[in-house]
Each structure stands twice: as structure tokens, then as C-alpha cells.
Amino acid sequence: MRTSTINHAGHGHDSHAADHDDHGPAKGWRRWVYATNHKDIGTMYLLFSLLMFFIGGSMAMVIRAELFQPGLQLVDPGFFNTMTTMHALIMIFGAVMPAFVGLANWMVPLQVGAPDMALPRMNNFSFWILPFAFTMLLSTLFVPGGGPSGGWTMYPPLVLQNGTSFPMLIFAVHLMGASSIMGAINVVVTIMNMRAPGMSLLKMPLFVWTWLITAYLLVAVMPVLAGAVTMLLTDHYFHTSFFQAAGGGDPVMFQHIFWFFGHPEVYIMILPAFGIVSEIIPTFSRKPLFGYDAMVYATASIAFLSFIVWAHHMFTVGMPLAGQLFFMLATMLISVPTGVKVFNWTATMFKGSLSFEPPMLFALSFLFLFTIGGFSGLMLAMVPADFQYHDTYFVVAHFHYVLVPGAVFGIMAGVYYWLPKWTGHMYSMKLANWHFWMSTIFVNVLFFPQHFLGLAGMPRRIPDYSTQFADWNMISSIGAFGFGLSQLLFAYIILSSIRGGVKATDKVWDGATPHGLEWTLSSPPPYHSFEIAPDVK
């Protein structure tokens, strides 16, 4: 954020608390079911996401337990495929995306000096759709034929062979999409219309900027996914032939449409994490962010490029040489704005007065490990190499490096950064450090060997494998169990902080003051904050 001063008269709440004490939270279940307060809805999103993180994580444990040794040990291959499909759907749409929406709900109004999200009732609706969507999705595990097992990409004709679970999957995806679009619209209109006087766009905190761009991405691509799955549904039930070759349709067209949604979706899951890291590193370096404007333009460039690289997910289906070259080079071009970000974070730390509290540790881990995922992405962008790597564990290693120590560590960094502000209590630094070190060590034990497995030719989405892959698979599974167990500590730390602990100061972190309006509020912030907009100079 550019240097700005804040008129604390805008803190507002205390001076007018007496006028508004009838606006406190409702009692009991009504507070949550009828919630319109951005903090309550943010909390529900975050808790929902934590629950989904554990459900999706349990499915990952089933996958890694089966892959602990070669041969079929625990589950039948059909159920294994269901686990890979459901793990992806739940982690993407149930854990990572709602976590970022939860963080946006909590932090965007606080960071732009707004009293709430612009459309609070739509905010309530967009959250409460999610439990229904995921109840429906999870209930497919109990219908005849089992849950969806054709992969989260839902490629036809395979997905059309699913039984009763198919329409439930499609309806659940529509609901998730509607929820995401409503959440995104709310973020856009809050940022565009509810900013405090004086907070120009280029004074906004980077988390707000990255979310604004993410929200535009969501509005643009979630309808594309909805269109694709609607066409799948009509192919199955109304005898259309959008994607059925037998009727003159084109199954590869689904892949194009899906990845036109799917690649921006990757950035939807990582751009807010960039924003969080851009908040944390300056705070714990006690320096302003290096190259604020460049960070904003780099984020916008990444978002733009995300629309023109989709076919790198499907080089092996065959495409003209010009198409291969275009998508290869456009994909490699993304490393330029991403490199700008990585170098700017590094330059922010240069000659800074660094300290290594848990948010900073997670941000640093993000910086190193996400970059590994970025480099393996560059390897996959090369068409001839991709023909070798495609559908191997190398791809699994790549996107898990981007999404776990990338997106998930970004979320954890954000939670550790703002948790004392939300609850008013500091958490145990010792336990959080334990959580960090266990997570960082085990995530590498889990995913790094998968690069070797992929390069050696182990295919993804299989429950059994050749004995030559046994050793690295065993190590990967041990990493998975360790990573899964260490997340119990994360849940314990959060719940402990909600229940009590050492009182947090308003500013919470020593270096936090210049970087956002949220630190001008009390910890926890009042139920209605910024009723009078603060004046940002």
C-alpha cells in the first residue's frame, strides 16, 4: 500500500456505540442462519472451509493409504477413483475457495473502511448455498453406483457413465458456481463502491487488489463451467450431442471449455494468497512493500494471461503446431509477472528488520515452495516435455506444490496473521511454530518424491502400480499421514484462540500499523465497524 495516513476520527464506532447498541448480534442460531454481518459470514465460511479441508483431507489419506504399497490393499479401484474425484472437488470448491471468500468477508470491509459488505443479504445467501451443495455432493457416496469417479474435470464420455451420482454432481457444481458468483459480485461492488473517502484504487491493500481481480475472474469463468456442465446434463438426459461423438458432438470441445474455466480457476485459488503474502512480508520486514504498483499490474497481467493458456492442459489431445507454440509461449509468459512478484517480495525483505512469527514463516515457506511449483509448471509448459509428463505423478506433484504450500499455506499464513484481530486473543506461538515446521517438512516429504515417480513414468489416478515405484510411494504416504496429523494442531490452535488466551493488542503485530485500516480497530473489532467512514489521506 502506498504511504497514506488515516484519520482516526473515522474509527467512529466507540463514539456512536450508544446509538447502535440495538444492532448487536442476534442470540442463538438466528445469529448464524440470518447472518448479514460480514464478520459472522466470514467466520462461517472459514469454519465451513476447515470442515471441508478435513473431509477432503480424509479422502487424501484413503488415497495415500492405498498407495502405501503396490497392489490393491484397502479399497476397490472404483472407490479409489471416487476418492480422487471427490478429494479434488471438495478441496477446490469446498476448502480453498470458501476459505478465501471467508478471508475476503472478514478483511475486505475492514481494509477498505466499509461498515459491511455492500450486499449483506446476498452474502448470507451465497454462504448458505454451500452446505446444501456439499451435502448433496457427499451424499453421492451413498447412492447406487457410488460417487462420481470420472475425475474432477468431468470429461465426457466417462462422466456420462456415472450412475445416480451424475445429476447430483452437476447440480452441486451449479450451486457452488452460483455461490461463487454471488460472493464475487459482492466483493467487486464492496471494493468499487464502499471504499473510505480518500482510499483511491492505488492506495488499497494488496489483499484487496488481488481479491478484486480474483472476483472479476470468478464472474467471467464460473458461468463457463456452469454452461459446460449444463450441456453435459442435456447430453445425458435430453439426447443432445454437444459432446457425444456418436451424435456428431465433440468430446474434445468439452476439454477446451472446461479448461477455459479451469486455468483461470487456478489463479482464482492463488491470487488471494499472493495478496496475503504481500500483506505479511512488509509487516514482518518492517518495510513498505517493494514495488506496490508493479505488484498490482503483475496481478492484472497474470489474470489476463490466465485466459489465453488453457490448452496447455490438453497438448496431448492433438492440436495444430501453431496452437501448440502459442499456448506454450503464452504459458511461459506468465512467469514474467510471477517473477516480478517473487522478486518484489524478496526485495521487500532486503535490508528489512525481519522477524519470524508464524505468519511470516508460512509466507516464506509459500515463497520457496510455490516457486518450486511454478518451475515445474514451466517444465510442463514445454510441449515436447509435456507429452512425456502428461497424466503422470509429475503433474500431481506440480499442482499440489502450487495448491498446498501455495494456496493452503497462503490461507494458513492469513489465518495466523489475522486470527488475533478476529478473536482478540493471541494464539500459542510455540504450537503454531510446531504446526509450521511439521507442515513444511511433511508437505515436502509428501509431494517432492512424486516428481521422481512422475519422471519415472508412474501414471496418476491409479490404485496400483509397478513395484519399481514402491519406495517413493511409501515415503510420499508417510509424508501424507504426517501432514494430515499436523493439521489437527491447526484446528486446535484456532479453537483455543477462539476460546481464550492472552489479550491481543489493537495493532497485534509490531510492524503492522502502516499497512491497513484493520489495525486501527480494536481486537476483536466491534460488531459494526466503520459506521462512519474513516478518512484516508
Residues catalogued as catalytic: 87, 116, 152, 179-180, 263, 265, 267, 278, 312-313, 338, 341, 460
CA torsion angle 346 352 354 360 (round to 10): -40
Residues 19-47: b if buried by 16+ CB within 10 A, e if exposed? eeeeeeeeeeeeebeebebbbbbbbbbbb
Specify which residues 278 forms β-bridges with: none
DSSP-based three-state secondary structure for 218: helix
Helix axes 321-333 and 335-349, enclosed angle (nearest 10): 10
Q: Find where cell 478471508 sits.
A: 103
| CA 395/CA 46 separation, integer angstroms | 29
Does residue number 219 form part of the binding site for other proteins (CB under 8 A)? yes
Does residue number 198 form part of the binding site for other proteins (CB under 8 A)? no
C-beta of 224: minimal distance to other proteins in Å? 6
Cβ closer to other proteins: 221 or 276? Answer: 221
Instruction: Please list, in sequence order, all residues whose beta carbon lies within 8 angstroms of the beta carbon of residue 124, skipping any fewer than 6 positions away.
Output: 34, 35, 36, 41
Which residue from 108, 97, 74 is spatially nearest to 188, judged by alpha carbons? Answer: 108
Indicate which single residue of 170, 181, 208, 311 sits in contact with other proteins (rule: CB under 8 A).
Answer: 181
Indicate which single residue of 61, 143, 160, 185 sits in contact with other proteins (rule: CB under 8 A).
Answer: 185
C-beta of 271: minimal distance to other proteins in Å? 18
Query: ∠159-228-407 over CA atoms, to 5°?
Result: 85
| CA 372/CA 375 separation, integer angstroms | 5
Indicate which single residue of 6, 97, 138, 231 sits in contact with other proteins (rule: CB under 8 A).
Answer: 231
| CA 407/CA 292 separation, integer angstroms | 21
Does residue number 493 form part of the binding site for other proteins (CB under 8 A)? no
Indicate which single residue of 100, 106, 152, 242 sits in contact with other proteins (rule: CB under 8 A).
Answer: 242
Does residue number 253 form part of the binding site for other proteins (CB under 8 A)? yes
Indicate which single residue of 42, 146, 205, 249 sits in contact with other proteins (rule: CB under 8 A).
Answer: 249
Region of 36-44, 178-186, 326-334, 342-350 interacting with other proteins (CB under 8 A):
178-186
Does residue number 245 form part of the binding site for other proteins (CB under 8 A)? no
Q: Total number of residues binding other proteins (CB under 8 A)?
A: 37
Give the DSSP letter string of 434-472: HHHHHHHHHHHHHHHHHHHHHHTTPBSS-S---GGGHHH
C-beta of 501: minimal distance to other proteins in Å? 35
Does residue number 119 form part of the binding site for other proteins (CB under 8 A)? yes
C-beta of 66: minimal distance to other proteins in Å? 37
Does residue number 84 form part of the binding site for other proteins (CB under 8 A)? no
Does residue number 220 form part of the binding site for other proteins (CB under 8 A)? yes
Cβ closer to other proteins: 271 or 508? Answer: 271
Q: How far is CA 189 from CA 193, 212, 215, in A?
A: 6, 9, 10
Backbone angles phi, psi at 72, to 5 degrees: -95, 115
Cβ closer to other proteins: 227 or 514? Answer: 227
Interface with other proteins by CB under 8 A: which residues?
A: 16, 115, 118-119, 122, 181, 184-186, 188-190, 192-194, 219-220, 222-224, 226-228, 230-231, 240-242, 247-250, 253, 257, 531-533
